[in-house]
Amino acid sequence: MTLELVIPDPRLAVEMRGIVRRFPGVVANDGVDFDLRVGEVHALLGENGAGKSTLMNVLDGLYRPDAGEIMVGGQPVEFRSPRDAIAAGLGMVHQHFALVPTQTVTENVLIGLDRPRFRIDIGRYDDEVAELAARHGLGVDPRARIWQLSVGEQQRVEILKMLYRGARILILDEPTAVLAPQEAQDLFRTLRSMVADGTSVVFISHKLGEVAQIADRVTVMRRGKVTASGIPISETTTAGLARLMIGRDVVETIERTPFDTGPVVLSMRDVEAESDRGLPALRGISLEVRAGEILGVAGVAGNGQSELAQVLTGLRHCSRGSVTVNGVEVGNRTPRDAINEHVAHVPEDRTGVGSAPNLSIADNLIMKSYREAPVSRHWSIDTGAVRRFANRLRETYSIAAPSVETETRLLSGGNLQRLILAREIASEPRLMVAVQPTRGLDVGAIVTVHRLLLDQRQAGSATILISEDLDEILALADRVAVIYEGRLVGLFDAADADVAEIGLRMTGGMASRPPEPGDAPRIVP
């Protein structure tokens, strides 16, 4: 018998064939094939729960496959841990960084290495890290401490950690989720430089516009299987990719109907507040939001956005200033006082703040209304009324679950966000505070959330939209306020906002050009 000699494709950095990975009650990867060529950016797309993160965790050595084969550089491999993957030249940069804030860039790069063992010539390693950073266009000072760096610079440190360990294959998980537009473009330039040098990149993202900009090929997953494998990006469209992800056509943009704003609903005057560490988080915030208006708050993570939302919803006290809703002071009062003034809150933390995961859907839906008719009856709760109320909201907001008795922890991210929005909208809010309302959601769920927020605008609610996704803010907001280090550093009309100028303000820069005679006042210092 003559055996056919199979020569591995020298252009393939990674081959994954027939990957199966099971968890109790679910097959996360069902016979998945995926390949990555040398010197390319290959985007991996899919809804939440599609199996893409599981597939990459298998490749990174965090999970072991139940079936299938992995080849790196044409050689079969079996990774028992991420350390094995790194030794084979493969590294993953996660969305949430694992850096020690008080240590320098070089010290963070060296963490976990077998060398140096006893005595560190830190100057020598500073030089090595500086040379590596310069070679790949990763502008960062090796001697700077992590806490001194911007989010974009911290991401460069994570990439440097992988490159210093010899990684030629990088997996980037939602790499632009916390970056300003300029930082995202800097990252893309870095990736292109690295790809030109032979590095291979797997790019996981929900932002289809970014995928179209940076990827060479794209693979789409749905329900644990591949629906499109290695399509050249030039042969598809964002609408086509969205259809492959969710199995139906998706309206990617929603028309924003013109609406005349009403009276001032929210007024903040010289508000200051401290962080959990006792440091200044909000510094002299003054703003107004009117009925029928969405004010988008743009900023890089950690510049006071969380504290702003907490002050507005009674979860954090001010050290100075005034917060009123329809003329009633709500600053330095309780969340119940804010609720009584019809302040709705869609929090960033859906499970820790926005819901009680071990309680039923029905219990979560009545959290704001259990004291009121028809849910409340004198000193008791009418269980029949609760069930009718919850079923009505479940149907209206398309919350996919077997029944309203289902525990909330069993819901997907998109369905949990629908539940939170259903509860908050049912309270007939005068002020809606929505924080990162679409983070981690797939394209179909994002469209649903956007539509609900615009419906509330049309109904006359005032809305504060706090998001790190500038595209989202520009699509929904009437005005854009930029926050940096706890200060409002810019206020723009969204209709003619300059993205570059907003991006500069988000990172502490000045306006891209000085005002010219005749210009309308577009920026409020």
Asked if residue 312 has pLDDT above 90, the reply is yes
Element (H, E) at 42: strand 41-46
Residue 272 φ then ψ, to 5° = -130, 145
pLDDT confidence tier of residue 330, bands split at 50, 70 and 90: very high
Mean local confidence (pLDDT), 306-318: 94
Please provide the average confidence, as pLDDT, over all residues in the chain: 85
For domain 12-246, say whether CATH 3.40.50.300 is its number: yes
pLDDT score, position 10: 54
Confidence (pLDDT) at 293: 95
Beta-bridged to residue 323, according to DSSP, are 268
Give the model confidence (pLDDT) of 388-436 as tens digits.
999 999 999 989 888 999 999 888 777 898 999 999 999 999 999 999 8
Q: What is the predicted pLDDT for the residue at 121?
A: 80
The answer to whether residues 482 and 304 touch, using CB atoms and an 8 Å cutoff, is: no
Residues 6+ apart with CB under 8 A from 46: 52, 220, 221, 222, 245, 442
pLDDT at site 9: 45
Distance, in Å, from the CA atom of 383 to the CA atom of 51, rounded to the nearest integer, reads 38
Specify the range with the lowest mean pLDDT, choosing from 9-18, 308-317, 321-330.
9-18
- pLDDT at residue number 2: 39
Q: For residues 523 and 504, give the distance between their C-alpha atoms in angstroms, rounded to a whole number.
A: 13
If pLDDT is split at 50, 70 and 90, which confidence band does 256 have? low
Residue 351 has pLDDT above 90, yes or no: no
Structural domain boundaries in the chain: 12-246, 252-342+429-525, 356-427
Q: What is the mean pLDDT of residues 470-482?
A: 91
Overall average pLDDT of the 371-390 stretch: 83
More confident residue, 63 or 243: 63
The predicted model scores a pTM of 0.69
Do 252-342+429-525 and 12-246 fall under one CATH topology?
yes
Average pLDDT of the residues in 246-250? 64
CATH fold of 252-342+429-525:
Rossmann fold (3.40.50)
DSSP 8-state secondary structure symbol assigned to residue 4? P
The whole-number pLDDT of residue 252 equals 54
Q: For residue 200, which of 167, 238, 177, 227 has the smallest C-alpha distance?
A: 167
pLDDT of residue 441: 76
Residue-level pLDDT at 448: 87
Q: Picking from 37-41, 110-114, 229-233, which range would have the lowest pLDDT averaged per residue?
A: 110-114
Task: Output the pLDDT for position 8.
Answer: 41
pLDDT band at residue 118 under the 50/70/90 scheme: low
Residue 512 banded pLDDT, cuts 50, 70, 90 = very low
- The whole-number average pLDDT for the span 484-495 is 92
What's the per-residue H, E or C state across 19-73? EEEEECCEEEEEEEEEEEECCCEEEEEECCCCCHHHHHHHHCCCCCCCEEEEEEC
pLDDT tens readout for residues 137-185: 787 889 999 888 877 788 889 889 988 888 899 999 888 876 777 778 8
Per-residue pLDDT tens for 189-237?
889 888 988 899 999 887 788 888 899 999 999 888 999 999 999 998 8
pLDDT above 50: residue 504: yes
Residue 232 · residue 41 · CB < 8 Å: no
